[in-house]
Amino acid sequence: MGTTVQELGAAVRHARKQQGLDQLLLADLAGVSDRFLRDLEHGKPTVRLKEVLRVLDALGLTLQVRPR
């Protein structure tokens, strides 16, 4: 997915579009606000991890942590 918040947001946006979802529908499926999803997709650095994980789960994505 990359190493920056902007890359994470771009990956979420790409996956959402690939699945034919608009922001409102994905936000509803993930249980987050549409404002949160917009912030995430635009790379806002202060998004909450708990909600990020909900969005990733709704898209069928996982977050991977590994040594550099």
Number of domains present in the structure of the chain? 1
Distance separating alpha carbons of residues 29 and 43, to the nearest angstrom: 20
Q: So what's the pLDDT on residue 12?
A: 98
pLDDT tens for 18-58 read: 999 999 999 999 999 999 999 999 999 999 999 999 999 99
CATH number for position 39: 1.10.260.40
Say how far apart CA 40 and CA 33 lie, in whole Å: 11
**Residue span of the structural domain in which 34 resides:** 5-59
Q: What's the predicted TM-score (pTM) here?
A: 0.91
HSE at residue 54, side-chain half, CA atoms within 13 A, is 16
